[in-house]
Amino acid sequence: MITRRRAFLQENIIIAASKTPLTWQQQLSMAIRDPQVLCDRLGLSSQWLAGAQTGHALFDVCVPDAYLNRIAYADLNDPLLRQVLPVDKEALTPPGYVADPLEESGHQPAKGLIHKYANRVLLIASPTCAINCRYCFRRHFPYSDNAPSRAQWQEALDYLRADTSIHEAILSGGDPLAANDRQLAWLVDQLEGIPHIKRLRVHTRLPVVIPDRVDDALLAWLSNTRLQKVIVLHINHANEIDQAVIDACTRLKQTGVTLLNQSVLLRGVNDNVTTLATLSERLFEAGILPYYLHVLDPVQGAAHFDVADSEAKELIAELRDHLPGFLMPRLVREIPGKGSKTPL
């Protein structure tokens, strides 16, 4: 064990010491996409490999080094590892767990566009992510049908131009920040040209997964838009917030963006009061306000992460005794067909 631990540290030191810092695109292209490599790098015994292969066959593994380096070595209970390690339970098919738990396919008036709620729409700005979270409610989303070319974006943009009740555009994905900045700047420019669009919201996990994503090119288009900006990050555990993430958030805030966070309540990751309270405190230290704590969407392959609503409500009630009100996330469930998230 000691030898493997040394090898692990040595490998990471070599990567850290390599001459030129890697760009975020290079880090993304070098992300671990093989369960065997993931198990080897983290010192997980071969008994976990078969399960990891099973889960990987259903939803690809993807973990960049910048995230991997925050995971403890040879610790199957690490809360970050649990979010990214494929397991054999993903092959279970309990009743009620489906491919499209939010029934988004019924709300797509144009390619790349989802319109579920009044006054706001969601644009699938990128079909990929920098990490594949095992509980993702879009793990079966047909991204290949939702990757518009520039010409095809016009249909979605025409839809927005025609509906003056829409005030907010939400860039989503995948992870919208997995798209290149030229494409994103173009899309934001198009949105700015629609007078009734006031706000730009970006739902992203990339500044957490690869903090170097917050580079000059990103900050340039984010700084220059007339739209009010909100970035909603996705962080489930305080261990995800290291100094690089704090620095990335500081750079984002300098553009005048409001930073919020949404988490998912996950069995074995953050399903206790101490962990949730520590997460809220750490978020605030990084300049991020807790926004939502979602209960799990019943997506096929993720049932082992579920926390019952009754337990979730008890946790939130207890959490109130540990946190000031402004650090309390709202416990919600998304119910298909409802006009907003449902508080629990």
Q: Which residues are near ligand SF4 by CB under 6 A?
A: 129, 131-133, 136, 138, 173-175, 205, 234
In whole angstroms, what is the distance from residue 201 CA to residue 285 CA? 22
Amino acid at 232: V
Kindly state the smallest distance separating residue 258's Cβ from ligand SF4, in Å.
19
The tokens for 173 are: 């994905």
Mode of pairing for the β-strands spanning 330-333 and 342-343: antiparallel
Q: Which is nearer to ligand SF4, 194 or 302 (CB)?
A: 302
Residue 63 and residue 32 in contact, taking contact as beta carbons nearer than 8 Å: yes
Kindly state the smallest distance separating residue 131's Cβ from ligand SF4, in Å.
6
Kindly state the smallest distance separating residue 125's Cβ from ligand SF4, in Å.
12
Where are the alpha helices (H) located in the chain, listed in sequence order? 2-17, 24-29, 35-41, 49-58, 65-68, 81-84, 150-162, 181-192, 206-209, 216-224, 243-253, 273-285, 309-319
Q: Which is nearer to ligand SF4, 197 or 262 (CB)?
A: 262
Q: Which is nearer to ligand SF4, 70 or 234 (CB)?
A: 234
Kindly state the smallest distance separating residue 206's Cβ from ligand SF4, in Å.
8
Kindly state the smallest distance separating residue 13's Cβ from ligand SF4, in Å.
28
The CA-CA-CA angle for residues 91, 273, 324, to 5°, reads 130
In sequence order, the β-bridge partners of residue 32 are: 63
Q: Which is nearer to ligand SF4, 124 or 188 (CB)?
A: 124
The count of other CB atoms within 10 Å of the CB of residue 120 is 16
Nearest CA-CA partner of 322 in 263, 281, 266:
281
Q: Which is nearer to ligand SF4, 121 or 194 (CB)?
A: 121
Q: Which is nearer to ligand SF4, 48 or 141 (CB)?
A: 141
Nearest CA-CA partner of 183 in 20, 25, 8, 5:
25
Kindly state the smallest distance separating residue 299's Cβ from ligand SF4, in Å.
10
- The whole-angstrom distance between residue 149's C-alpha and the CA centroid of its chain comes to 24
The tokens for 329 are: 């996330």
**CA distances for 323 relative to 30, 276, 281, 293, 330, angstroms:** 39, 10, 8, 14, 13
Kindly state the smallest distance separating residue 40's Cβ from ligand SF4, in Å.
23
Kindly state the smallest distance separating residue 57's Cβ from ligand SF4, in Å.
17
Q: Which is nearer to ligand SF4, 35 or 173 (CB)?
A: 173
Nearest CA-CA partner of 219 in 262, 174, 188:
188
Q: Which is nearer to ligand SF4, 172 or 194 (CB)?
A: 172
In whole angstroms, what is the distance from residue 122 CA to residue 113 CA? 6
